[in-house]
Amino acid sequence: MRHTLLFTLRRALLLREISSLIMLLVVILVFFALSPLFLSRENVGVVLEIIPELGIVALGVTMLMIAGEFDLSVGSLFAFCPIMISLFVSEGVHPVLSIVLALLLSLLLGGLNGFVTLYFGIPSFITTLGTMLIWRGAVLLISGGWPPPFSSALPTAFLVGRMGIFRASILWFAGITVLLWFILERTDFGNWMFATGGNQVAARAMGIDTGKVKLANFMLCSLLAGFAGVIQSFRLETTLPSMGGGLEMEAIAATVIGGTALSGGVGTVIGTVIGSFLIRIIDNGLVMARAPSYWFRVFIGIATILAVILNTFVRERARKMRC
C-alpha cells in the first residue's frame, strides 16, 4: 500500500506540469483570500474571456520551442493579422475572404521565419527578433499609428460570440489545446518534434527530416499568433496598432512556467495552458486586490523564475525517491 502510494507520488512529482499547477492553486487561494469577489461569476467570466488570446499564442510558441526554435515575432503578428483584415475589407474584399487571406498570410510569414532561419542557418532568436520589428513597423506604417475603422460586416460571433459567462473563444482555445496535445503525444509527427528538439543529430541520423519538422512548427506558431490577434481584435471591435506589445514575452513565460525547456525537446501542451492561466490570473487578481497594475510584470517575472527552479528541484528530488 505504502509502496504504491509512494510510486504514485513519485509519478505525480515527475509530471512536467506539477510546479505550475501548484503555483496556480496557491495564487487562486491567495487572491480569493484577498478579495472574495475574485471567484465571483462575473470575474471568472472576465478571466475566461482574456485567457484564450494569450493561451493560443503560447501554445504555438510551445510547439515551436519543443522542436528547438524560438519565435519572438508572435506579438507583432498578433497585430499584423487583424490589421490586414481591416485593410482587405476596406479594399472591398469580402469579409470572410479577408479573414482567410490574413490567416494564410500569417502562415506564410511563419514560413518565412522558418526559411530564413533554416536556409541561412542563423538562430531563430535573431530571425524573429528582426521580423518582430519589421512586422510591428509594417503595422504602424499601414495604420499610420491610428486604429483603422472596424467593419461591422465582419462575422465576429464565431470567434467571440457570448455564451453565458464566456465567449466562443474559450472553445477555440480548448479545441486547439486538444488538437495540439494529440499531435504532440499521439502522432509520429509529435515524436519527430521531440526528437528534433532533443537531439537533432540523432533525429537526422534516424532519417527524420528535421528541417521540415521545424518549418511546419514555425508556420503553426505564426498562424496561431495571427488567429489569436483576430480574436482580440474582434472582442474589442477595434484593431490597435499597439496590440500584442510584450505578448511574445508573456507567451514565452507561460511556456516556460508550464515546464517546457528553453533548449527544446521537452515540454507539454497542458503545462502551457496552466502557465497562461497563471499569468492572466495574476494580472486579474492584482486588479481585484487593488494593487497598482505595475506589480503585474514583477509577479510574472517572479513566477517564471520560481516555476523553473521548482521544476528542477522537484524533479531532482522525485528521481532520487526509490520505490
Q: Please report, as ranges, the residues that interact with other proteins according to CB under 8 A.
A: 183, 186-192, 194-195, 198-199, 201-208, 261, 265-266, 319
Shortest spacing between CB 316 and other proteins, in angstroms: 12
Residue labelled with grid coordinates 503578428: 77
Cβ proximity to other proteins: between 194 and 234 the closer is: 194
Q: Which is nearer to other proteins, 291 or 318 (CB)?
A: 318
Q: Are 265 and 117 in contact (CB under 8 A)?
A: no
CA quadruple 280, 285, 290, 296: dihedral, nearest 10: -40
User: What is the nearest approach in angstroms of other proteins to the Cβ of residue 199?
Assistant: 4
- Which CB atom, from 52 or from 190, has the smaller least distance to other proteins? 190
* Radius of gyration for the alpha carbons in the chain, expressed in angstroms and rounded: 20
The distance of closest approach from Cβ of residue 287 to other proteins in the complex, given in angstroms and rounded to an integer, is 39
Pick between residue 147 and residue 258 the one whose CB is nearest to other proteins: 258
Q: Kindly give, in sequence order, each residue whose CB lies less than 8 Å from that of residue 179, ignoring residues fewer than 6 positions away.
A: none
The Cα 123–Cα 128 span in angstroms is 9
| CB distance 154 to 239 below 8 Å | no
Nearest approach, Cβ of 25 to other proteins (angstroms)? Answer: 27
**Residue number, 6 or 206, with CB nearest to other proteins:** 206
Closer residue to other proteins in complex, CB, 7/125? 7
Q: Could you tell me the smallest distance in angstroms from the CB atom of residue 192 to other proteins?
A: 7
Rounded CA separation 238/154 (Å): 11
Q: How far is the CB of 203 from other proteins (least distance, A)?
A: 7
Question: Closest distance between other proteins and the C-beta of residue 154, in Å?
Answer: 30
Q: Which three cell numbers stand for residue 258?
A: 508550464
Indicate the residue among 68 and 229 with the shorter CB distance to other proteins: 68
Which residue's C-alpha cell is 527524420? Answer: 208
Give CA angle at 82 (270, 216), nearest 5°: 50
> Phi then psi for 159, rounded to 5 degrees?
-100, -40
Largest CA distance in the chain: 70
**CB-based contacts of 32: which residues, under 8 Å, 6+ apart?**
38, 39
What is the C-alpha separation between 210 and 199, in angstroms, rounded?
10
